[in-house]
Amino acid sequence: MKKISNLFSYITLVLLLGLAWGVRGILAQGPTEEVKDEVSSAQLPPPKIELAGQVGGTVNGSWWVNNVSVVGNTAYVGADDGLHLINVSTPAIPIEVSYYPTINGVGEITLVGNIAYILNGYTVRLVNVSNSAAPNEISSYTFPFSQFPDDPLDIAVSGNTAYVARYNTGLHILDISNLADPSEIGYFPLLSPTLGVAATKNKVFLSGYGGLHIIDSSNLYIPIEVGSYSGLMSWSNDVAVEGNRVYSADGLFGFGGLSIIDTSGPNRPQMIGSINLGDAMHVTVQGSHAYLLVEGDLYIVDISHPDNPIEIGFYDNGVTGWIDDLDVQNNYVYVAAEDKGLQILRLLRHKITGGVSTSGGYLSSHGTYLAFPAGAFTDMVALTYRHLWQDQDEGDLVGIGHTFELEAIYHLTGQPAQLASSQTFDILVQYTDAEQGPAIEDTLALYYWNGSQWLKEASSAVDPAGNTVTAQPNHWATLWAVLGETRRTFLPIILDK
């Protein structure tokens, strides 16, 4: 195992000299004295929510944001003047990459591969975003005028089919197998206004004034209604589907919330559970959590027990109650906040900030210990450690509840700092047996995110007897995590007869 004598010498020095390091707000105690965090990755504490970044907004003399969809490092933002592509590889510093103008603005966006399907007035536009610096329109389809108002309000894409919810005329089905020439091939009218749509392979779920409608789309030319559910708390403003469960954002005149409906028997959908939150306008589901916009504010609901959904997070966005779109990626929530632009919210367990001078410094929090030798930074920095709310698993790698961000900012300039050339720093993460979960213990290691994937830190070492993972990186990264493998890979042995 790699030695970490530097780390413990720093810990001892902190204990003896205290403020001599110039470290503010630290937990000055060694790992053996730390109160163990018994929270496993499967039993998340309620998140703390903070504003991490913001871009756009008419309050800043910029564009009004209607909608957002995030894929990879790019946020696709529907605004009153068109489609904006925002680089969110560093969520706290969103940067506009490009812009595709439209007349009447963009109302809704769905991303499939390199194609953005955007609603623009009565038109569905197909925009190629494979080159994020230069998005270009491939084709479009404009619906004939029927009656006012009948704007397309929502769009879902499954395979070679796009499903569009129009306010007064219900479901419209487009064949997009030829991206250069989309065409309408099917239609199902509803007697009451339609507000949202979600789709699976052969089922379409419509939300609206009349509640939830389930449409069999196995014959795209002649879709038929196979079930409905009208016993919601109020109107169904938005709908999301995961497996056989449908999640409805209900809201009208301050009443509503989240309804969870079992559609395994589509002819007779059944309410599983609900929670009254207020006038809900939007719902997105990621894993065992539902993210809702309720009267302009963010609510996070634990849906791991669908018969008893529980509110675990709230953030006052400080916007109007009409905002109706957000997207979620890992520990960040992207809110289309109208006049306040795109708001990027960070979900975390806790954070701590301390000062690190050119003489070095030390910071610790909830089982993670950081030590910086003299010369690690070329000037005084404010170092922030953020223990993020959830792990960001990838493939056979799973987290154990220790995913964190490191941020170093120069005091004098306010600019991001990097580790000085040829310098290293120490990281020690202490974990519990309960946190280990399905990860194979001797495969645990420290990983860093390079913008597109997790890379194993070369200096990482695990000590199963001491329940610690240690490393001495010679580079700086923002996002780190302790990850482990869930299965072993064995190479075949070939015997030479």
Tens digits of pLDDT across the chain (497 residues): 333 334 434 443 333 333 233 333 333 233 222 222 333 334 678 999 999 999 999 877 889 999 999 999 999 999 999 999 999 999 999 999 999 999 989 999 999 999 999 999 999 999 999 999 999 999 999 998 877 788 899 999 999 999 999 999 999 999 999 999 999 999 999 989 999 999 999 999 999 999 999 999 999 999 999 999 988 888 999 999 999 999 999 998 888 999 999 999 989 999 999 999 999 999 999 999 999 999 999 999 999 999 999 999 999 998 888 888 999 999 999 999 999 999 999 999 999 999 999 999 999 998 999 999 999 999 999 999 999 999 988 888 999 999 999 999 999 999 999 999 999 999 999 999 999 999 999 999 999 999 889 999 999 999 999 999 999 999 999 999 999 999 766 555 565 55
Q: What is the pLDDT of residue 43?
A: 66
Sequence ranges of the domains in the chain: 5-43+348-485, 49-346
Amino acid letter for position 237: N
Asked if 321 and 55 touch (Cβ cutoff 8 Å), the reply is: no
Sheet arrangement for strand 468-471: 361-365, 368-372, 426-430, 468-471, 461-463
DSSP codes of every residue in 310-358: EEEEEE---S-TT---EEEETTEEEEE-BTT-EEEEEEEEEEEEEEEBT
Please name which of 138, 175, 181 lies closest in space to residue 160, comparing C-alpha atoms: 175
Sign of dihedral through CA atoms 142, 145, 148, 154?
negative
Sign of dihedral through CA atoms 69, 71, 73, 74?
negative
Chain centre distance of CA 310:
19
Please identify which residue in the block is written with the tokens 């309960």.
434
- What is the rounded distance in angstroms from the CA atom of residue 136 to the CA atom of residue 130? 9
Which tokens belong to 161?
A: 């089919």
Q: What is the pLDDT of residue 482?
A: 98
Buried b (16+ CB within 10 A) or exposed e, 31-44: beebeebeebbeeb
Topology of domain 49-346, CATH: Methylamine Dehydrogenase; Chain H (2.130.10)
Which tokens belong to 42?
A: 């499967």
- What is the rounded distance in angstroms from the CA atom of residue 274 to the CA atom of residue 272? 7
Number of neighbouring beta carbons within 10 Å of residue 47: 22
* Full-model pTM: 0.89
How many angstroms separate the first and last alpha carbons of the chain? 38
Answer CATH for 5-43+348-485 from 2.60.220.30, 3.30.300.30, 3.40.190.80, 2.40.30.10: 2.60.220.30
- What is the rounded distance in angstroms from the CA atom of residue 366 to the CA atom of residue 374? 24
Asked if 132 and 85 touch (Cβ cutoff 8 Å), the reply is: yes
Q: What is the pLDDT of residue 13?
A: 35
